[in-house]
Amino acid sequence: MIFRQLFDSESSTYTYLLADEQMREALLIDPVLEQVERDLKLLAELGLTLRYVLETHVHADHVTAAGVLRQRTGARVVASRLGAPCVDLQVSHGDKLEMGAVHVEVLETPGHTDDSVSFRVDDCVFTGDTLLVRSAGRTDFQNGSASALYDSITRVLFSLPGSTRVYPGHDYKGHAISTIDEEKRHNTRAAGRSREDFVHLMNNLNLPPPKKLAQAVPANLACGVAEMARTPSAVA
């Protein structure tokens, strides 16, 4: 499998490229609009065709490149059944996508937002804003729920094998990767906390709103571009 971890410094967003080496087909997880040319250039350099764009949730801190990439490559946009109506393929917990040797399992992990999902690929999990390295996504907008996030982290993600590599959607302190075992032991928001303690902590972070909140959410409900509404299909 071909793998690349890419970074947008303005929003501190990680984008992930995964591809099947034999079929030369690729997917991107959480691409950023301002990085479209970078991502298309990398795909061309590696001789890859973009087949899927996967979104972990409707983002509030950057505008997605999903719609533009769909227009320019024909890729299908994949996201939660509870998320943006513009996607091509709605997914739910336990659904699977196959792209040659790349097998993606969908894990519903609400809490940061009600539509948050994580994507498990082999011994890796791409957690979006649900589980960050030594942290966790805020829960104070977009139908967020600290209680739901606690369950997503402790019952879904922390139930994965401890050696599972954690690739977050953002990082603000220079971390690129962790493992489930590390986060179970050292995550400052979740490790060793009771539900009550976690909910109290998350409900009292008093963080300022994301700078692009008013722009990003409506744009991302349209996959980052102004277009006619789509009727998405669902994975059975």
Tokens representing residue 57 in the block: 């949730």
Residue-wise pLDDT for 46-56, tens only, equals 999 999 999 99
**Residue 227 has what pLDDT?**
55
Sequence ranges of the domains in the chain: 2-226
- CATH class name, domain 2-226: alpha beta
Q: Beta-carbon neighbour count of residue 194 at 10 Å?
A: 9
Give 118-135 pLDDT, tens digit per residue.
Answer: 999 999 999 999 999 999
As a whole number of angstroms, the distance between CA 113 and CA 166 comes to 19
Contacts 24+ apart (CB under 8 A), 228-234: 229/85, 229/86, 230/85, 230/86, 230/87, 230/88, 232/85, 232/86, 232/87, 232/88, 232/89, 232/90, 233/88, 233/89, 233/90, 234/81, 234/89, 234/90, 234/91, 234/92
- Chain-centroid distance, C-alpha 15: 9
Contact by Cβ (8 Å): 18, 30: no
- Contact between 130 and 145 (Cβ < 8 Å): no
Q: Which residues in the chain show pLDDT less than 70?
A: 226-232, 236
For 75, the 3-state DSSP assignment is coil
> Helix 36-45 to helix 66-73 angle, to the nearest 10 degrees?
40
Structure tokens given for 190: 């979740």
Question: What pLDDT score does 229 carry?
Answer: 46
The H-or-E segment that residue 201 falls in is helix 195-202
Residue 228 is predicted with a pLDDT of 42
pLDDT at 69 (0 to 100): 98
Strands 76-80 and 49-54: parallel
114 alpha carbon, distance to own chain's centre: 13
Distance CA 106, CA 88 (A): 16
